[in-house]
Amino acid sequence: MKARTKALPVVGWRERVHLPELGLHDLPAKIDTGARTSSLHGTVIERFERDGLAMVRFEVDFGPDDAHHVCEAVHVDLRGITSSNGRTQKRLIIKTPLRIGDVEFRAEISLADRRDMKFPMLIGRSSLRRRFVVDSGHSWLQSDNLGLHKGTEK
């Protein structure tokens, strides 16, 4: 017999997320259970070392006015990631706190060129696992504090 587990928060197919250590807030993200790793639109400016840690400085542009943000994060890996077009590319992986609704956790995120994508961030199943349940028929379920319409949106 299975032990009862606590109910997990429900996310829609798109949500507003926060990367507090990077200074990025209300970032529109697509929830993608088909992707293993989360991905952030970021253009790498520089790789460097600080206090013995490998670091990366990168630019993120998003929002209606394409606001320009320069971020720094610990660079934890260089990994082959297979994109939706089937091609594998080497991507820098960072690890940083990610908050969706009231749930905050450290997530591994690949930096990728997503300028042609509708969402600057994609949340993969590794970040969702044991934290959220996905309802693909709804949007912004964890974003209601932003005054966004909850429920189905076309």
Q: In sequence order, what DSSP letters do the residues of 85-134 get, joined into one string?
A: TS-EEEEEEEEEEEEETTEEEEEEEEEE--TTSS-SEEE-HHHHTTT-EE
pTM to 2 decimal places: 0.86
Return the number of other C-beta atoms located less than 10 Å from residue 94's C-beta: 25
Residue 25, classed as helix, strand or coil, is strand
Residue 151, classed as helix, strand or coil, is strand
pLDDT tens profile 11-68: 999 999 999 999 999 999 999 999 999 999 999 889 999 999 999 999 998 877 778 8
- Using CA atoms, how far apart are residues 106 and 111, in angstroms rounded to an integer? 15
pLDDT tens profile 74-133: 999 999 988 777 889 899 999 999 999 999 999 999 999 888 899 999 999 999 999 999
- Using CA atoms, how far apart are residues 112 and 105, in angstroms rounded to an integer? 21
